[in-house]
Amino acid sequence: MTLLAFGINHTTAPLAIRERVAFAPDGLERALAEARQMAGLSEVAILSTCNRTEIYAASDAEADQLLRWLLDHTRMGEEDLENCFYCYRDHEAVGHMMKVAGGLDSLVLGEPQILGQMKSAYAVASQAGTIGAALHAAFQQVFGVAKRVRSETAIGENPVSVAYAAVTLAQQIFSDLKQDTALLIGAGETIQLVARHLKEQGIRKLIVANRTLDRAQQLSRELGAEAILLADIPEYLPQADIVISSTASQLPLLGKGAVESALKKRKHKPVFMLDIAVPRDIESEVGELDDVYLYTVDDLHAVIDQNKKSRQAAADKAREIIAEGLSHYLETQRAQDAAATIRTYRAQAEALRAAELAKAQRALEAGSDPEQVMSQLARSLTNKLLHPPSAALRRASAEGRSQLVASARELFGLDESAPPQNDGASNTEDGKSERE
């Protein structure tokens, strides 16, 4: 059975594709059952976030069967996904899952939410009955490694993007964002990231202002925000505890007078303002007002640069932890692969023991000398246990397969310095065991 990690993410597919492949939470169990049936999967779990959709499966089926199901489920054409998807197999699949859970494959290096999202994907699949032994073992190893990454490195402690740094700075002013309203000016990529980070931190309300309403509405639909035009900002500004702006305007959008008027309506409740735009969207004089904490993008650069170095060092350590975790997973899997052989060998030995013991008991009941019976029992059992490997080793030696002979010495724990036994005597005993 092959383990697969199949999907798309922010590095391989644009938002327009990712949103079409995303799975709604309320339809996830149905999709899991459908994937298992239609794609021929033995086990399956689905991780779906704003930055990735990944399907983890254990199956004898090929990856193209999974692709065909996904295309059918999403009603997309093959040309839409042919250059976007990736597929990892077996240990590479588990290694990829570890990178994802550890935050090494995220848009923001080390972002902490992804581990919780992966745990949720596992829980939903477990509830749906689509998790079996293979995926359970993989996920448990992945969660253990991700926990080590979080506890033994500083990968998730420092912001590494302007957007993430902006939200972190806002949290220094307002410790509980669940009580606050944020006004975001612009609808470009940076503002989109800021909006997502604020949403992840539980911001009470988001207002998105943009020059064109459709762009603001697009982001608002994704994040449950309110969309307004730039002209409406003075009306909404008194509601805003946090104002973050990033537009391409060549002239300031917020002046000292408008902010001063909003502060009066707020009864001088503090406002955090961050102007990420170049040229600036907020007049520098706004920073002179009491109860306004105004920062520019330059105030973030030193923090970001330092934190990038810090996170990169942590990421290197995280990769070492993942390599160790993957090695442990592979050792465990190989040990499990040997378990069936060990069970069969033990059963065979037990059958021989039972047969020889029964023969000895019959001899004792017939009045044979107990000492001779015990000696014969030991000799017969030893010969029958040793005959198959002895015969196999002779064939291997005759055929020049010296590696098998060397492996046998390791397998049986034979001291290389021990003198070889008389092979003729061994032949005699083997022959005797075959006649008995």
For a pLDDT cut of 90, what percent of the chain falls above it? Answer: 52
Region 333-348: mean pLDDT is: 79
Q: How confident is the model at residue 417 (pLDDT cuts 50, 70, 90)?
A: low
| Encoded amino acid at 205, one letter | K
* Ranges 114-123, 127-136, 159-168, 312-321: which has the least confidence: 159-168
pLDDT of 377 strictly over 80: yes
pLDDT of 238 strictly over 60: yes
Q: Where in the chain is the domain with CATH 3.40.50.720?
A: 162-296
pLDDT of 436 strictly over 60: no
The count of other CB atoms within 10 Å of the CB of residue 347 is: 10
CA distance 193 to 167: 10
Asked if 178 and 202 count as a contact pair (C-beta separation under 8 A), the reply is yes
CA distance 211 to 229: 6
Q: Supply 171's token pair.
A: 């949290």
Q: How confident is the model at residue 431 (pLDDT cuts 50, 70, 90)?
A: very low
pLDDT of 419 strictly over 80: no
CA distance 399 to 411: 20
**Residue located via tokens 């990420």:** 276
What is the number of alpha carbons within 13 Å of residue 85 lying toward its C-beta? 22
Asked if 109 and 160 count as a contact pair (C-beta separation under 8 A), the reply is yes
pLDDT of 234 strictly over 90: yes
pLDDT of 78 strictly over 60: yes
Q: How confident is the model at residue 346 (pLDDT cuts 50, 70, 90)?
A: confident
Q: Identify the CATH number of the domain defined by range 2-152+310-333.
A: 3.30.460.30
* Ranges 79-93, 244-258, 332-346: which has the least confidence: 332-346
* Ranges 82-86, 106-110, 375-379: which has the least confidence: 106-110
Which residues share a beta bridge with 5? 56, 88
Q: Supply 168's token pair.
A: 């972190």
pLDDT of 429 strictly over 70: no
- What pLDDT digit, counting tens, does each position of 189-213 carry? 889 989 998 998 999 999 999 999 9
Strands 181-185 and 242-245: parallel
Known catalytic residue at 87: no
Looking at the domain covering 162-296, what would its CATH class be?
A: alpha beta
Instruction: Give the residue, 392 or 336, on which the prediction is more confident.
Output: 392
- Could you say which of 28, 32, 50, 262 is catalytic? 50
Instruction: Give the residue, 235 or 392, on which the prediction is more confident.
Output: 235
Q: What rounded mean pLDDT belongs to the chain?
A: 88
* Ranges 207-221, 242-256, 289-303: which has the least confidence: 289-303
pLDDT of 120 strictly over 90: yes
Q: Supply 393's token pair.
A: 């080793």
Q: Where in the chain is the domain with CATH 3.30.460.30?
A: 2-152+310-333
